[in-house]
Copies of this chain bind each other. A is one copy, B any other.
Amino acid sequence: MSELFFAGLDVGGTTMKGGVVDDTGRMLSAINLPTEPQRGQDFGLERMCETIRQGVREAGLAMDRIAAIGVATPGLMDIPAGIIIDPPNLRPWRNVPVKSHVAQVFGLPTAFQNDANAAAYGEYCFGAGKGCHSMVLFTLGTGIGGGIILGDRVLEGAHSHGGEVGHIKVELTHPRPCGCGLFGCLEAYASANSVVKRMQELLVEDATPCSLRGRAEFTSRDIFDAATSDKLAAKIVEQTAYYLGIGAMNLMHIIDPEMIVFAGGMVHAGDGFLERIKHHVRELAFPIPATRTEIRYARLGSDAGLIGAAACGRQLYHRLNGAG
């Protein structure tokens, strides 16, 4: 009996990451190459294939041991068609036929997915969500990404816009501008960037002494670190837990998943922060989902995209072979 191996590729604006994951979700290898989008999309497609090749080699495998490939990319895309349409982080790429190219080069079943959806699917299959049947992931970074998994399927949406959980409008009266160009999105309140922005504003409004005052730059990590001893930082962190509680509540009332998972840098804030999110969810949501929905941190860290991409390849393989 030969073991099954899947190649994953997670394409980002700066680097792309390739590697091999086995049928149980174990990651055998992971290598990075620079994306260099400015060199154009033909170069980009070749770089993708090269990253997959090097990832497979790094795992000590020949290419013919790979059962299927999964590719995850950011940006506006047509998921079923396997095309990146107009990716803000991969300029000047446009209408790049990723799936068909990779499938043709390697002659292997190739899955294509949005990177945030792939990360959610990775956590669902092999991370925090292992064993559950429905899950919503919030990834807290520069923005808020995420994905929704219902019964082993990524909720891609009819126009590849499913699971844009950072772009629920949560404020009408004084909506904060969001990185997406809209106003009042959850992302404008609870992303790492928004945490920093809110802290900067609070330092202007409130003269209470604060260790971050006068610093030319600080990160959301600095704010979370300062919050243990610093009143203003603690206030921002508590508000952030409240905003994330609202994000969770909204998804609980729409999707009502078995589990909600938070990923990204804020995970390092530890159990106390997660407890505050849970506290707000209990105050905000309907009693049954508030009591029964599992809320936890992600487990795969920055490998979620790669593992999730490979898991999408794995799902495709098992479907083609009648086991999914």
Chain B residue nearest in CB terms to A164: B253
Taking residues whose C-beta sits less than 8 angstroms from the other chain, chain A's interface range is 35 or more
Beta-carbon contact of A255 and B155 below 8 Å? yes
Residues of B within 8 A of A292 (CB): 158-159
Chain B residue nearest in CB terms to A171: B172
Per-position binary interface string of chain A over residues 94-135, scored 1 when its CB falls under 8 Å from any chain B CB and 0 otherwise? 000000000000000000000000000000000000000110
In the bound assembly, the distance between CA atoms of A156 and B258 in angstroms comes to: 12
Residues of B within 8 A of A172 (CB): 170-171, 173, 246
Partner of A158, one of B159, B174, B258, B284: B258
Residues of B within 8 A of A278 (CB): none
Copies of this chain in its oligomeric complex: 2
- In the assembled complex, A303 has its CB within 8 A of some CB on chain B: no
Beta-carbon contact of B134 and A158 below 8 Å? yes
Beta-carbon contact of B256 and A165 below 8 Å? no
- In the assembled complex, A296 has its CB within 8 A of some CB on chain B: no
- In the assembled complex, A31 has its CB within 8 A of some CB on chain B: no
Per-position binary interface string of chain A over residues 153-165, scored 1 when its CB falls under 8 Å from any chain B CB and 0 otherwise? 0011111111111
Per-position binary interface string of chain A over residues 269-292, scored 1 when its CB falls under 8 Å from any chain B CB and 0 otherwise? 000000000000000101011001
Given A170-B172, A173-B173, A161 contacting B251 (CB threshold 8 A) = no
- How far does the Cβ of A92 sit from chain B's closest Cβ, in whole Å? 19
Residues of B within 8 A of A323 (CB): none
Chain B residue nearest in CB terms to A157: B256
- How far does the Cβ of A149 sit from chain B's closest Cβ, in whole Å? 12
In the bound assembly, the distance between CA atoms of A182 and B283 in angstroms comes to: 9
Chain B residue nearest in CB terms to A133: B158
- How far does the Cβ of A256 sit from chain B's closest Cβ, in whole Å? 3
Beta-carbon contact of A249 and B169 below 8 Å? yes
Residues of B within 8 A of A148 (CB): 254
- In the assembled complex, A18 has its CB within 8 A of some CB on chain B: no
- In the assembled complex, A8 has its CB within 8 A of some CB on chain B: no
Residues of B within 8 A of A158 (CB): 133-134, 256-258, 292-293
Task: Report the 7 A-B pairs with minimum CB-CB distance, sorted nearest first.
Answer: A157-B256, A173-B173, A161-B256, A158-B258, A164-B253, A162-B256, A167-B253
Q: List 17 A-B contacts (CB under 8 A).
A: A158-B256, A158-B258, A158-B292, A159-B256, A159-B293, A161-B253, A161-B286, A161-B289, A162-B256, A169-B170, A169-B249, A170-B171, A171-B172, A172-B173, A250-B250, A251-B254, A254-B254
A150-B155, A157-B289, A161-B289 given; name 11 further pairs at CB < 8 Å: A150-B150, A157-B257, A158-B292, A158-B293, A160-B256, A168-B250, A169-B249, A170-B170, A170-B172, A173-B174, A250-B250
